[in-house]
Amino acid sequence: MPIETTTTQDVPAEIIFKLWPWLEQNRNKLIGVAVAIFVAISVYYFMASQREENERAAGAALTQLMLNPPAGMSVADALTQLATKYSGTVAAQRAQLQAAATQFGAGKYADAQAMFEKFVNDNNGSSLASTAQLGIGASLEAQGKSDLAAAAYQRVVSIYANTPSYLPALCGQGRIAEAQGKFKEALDRYETAYRASNGSGTLAQEAMMRATELQPKVAAMTPKPVTSAAPPTMPAVTPAPATAPAAK
């Protein structure tokens, strides 16, 4: 008896033939699922398009603001308003950081610190979070809060070691330690910064210069090995010369 064979082309038709009764029975459900998928895809593309449009508008607004600062309003306030208006965009994050940096440049270190901290709290997963954390350390250092500043810099060193904020944070730690007379710790921070940058860049050269100046101070603080004193020696006794007996 001849053996029936199924060609590759017949396989899809055979599967459809077997599934057809189930498809007919569940037609309404399938239509509902298809409609739901279509709606979800449409909403996704609409929102993606809106995000792109919002990003473009936010970027253009930020550029315009930086080129033409508003009259009758501080730049920091204008940047903050822009960040609120275009919340969720990269341009809004940049505006937040720029507003904090503007306050720092104006000597309003406590305000700058608060704005940097708000950025970190609101945008912890942002690629700009390391910059904001560095700003916190710099704001605290500018206020003379050395221990808190060192802790803020350490957070950058520990969490954001692979970002451009790493080297400035190390140098910040070095400055604080040096000001506190912790020369060995400061030297370590500066040398670490120099090695991490492979000696390239202005910051690396500054770190090396500070390390070179600290090396003699660290060497002077290093206790010298104590050598045991040699035991006292008895002075050599020279025998008195013999005298001839007196003549009788």
With beta carbons less than 8 A apart as the criterion, state whether 194 and 204 touch: yes
C-beta atoms surrounding 23 within 10 Å:
10
* pLDDT for the residue numbered 184: 94
The per-residue pLDDT for range 64-117, each reduced to its tens digit, is 777 777 777 888 888 888 888 888 888 888 999 999 999 999 999 999 999 999
Give, for 134, the enclosing helix (H) or strand (E). helix 129-142
Q: Once rounded to an integer, what is the mean pLDDT over residues 199-228? A: 84
238: left (phi over 0), alpha (psi -120 to 50) or beta: beta
Angle at 188 between CA 182 and CA 194, to 5 degrees: 135
Tell me: pLDDT of 222 over 80.
Answer: no
With beta carbons less than 8 A apart as the criterion, state whether 137 and 118 touch: no
Tell me: pLDDT of 143 over 90.
Answer: yes
Residue 167 or residue 28, greater confidence: 167
33, 80, 130, 138 from 194: Cα distances, Å:
60, 36, 20, 20
Cα distance between residue 123 and residue 64, in whole Å = 24
* pLDDT for the residue numbered 71: 78
* pLDDT for the residue numbered 30: 55
Ranges 3-17, 140-154, 183-197, 201-215: which has the least confidence: 3-17
Tell me: pLDDT of 150 over 90.
Answer: yes
* pLDDT for the residue numbered 46: 39
Cα distance between residue 163 and residue 169, in whole Å = 11
Mean pLDDT of the chain: 79
Confidence grade of residue 56 (pLDDT, cut at 50, 70, 90): confident
Cα distance between residue 169 and residue 243, in whole Å = 88
Tell me: pLDDT of 185 over 90.
Answer: yes
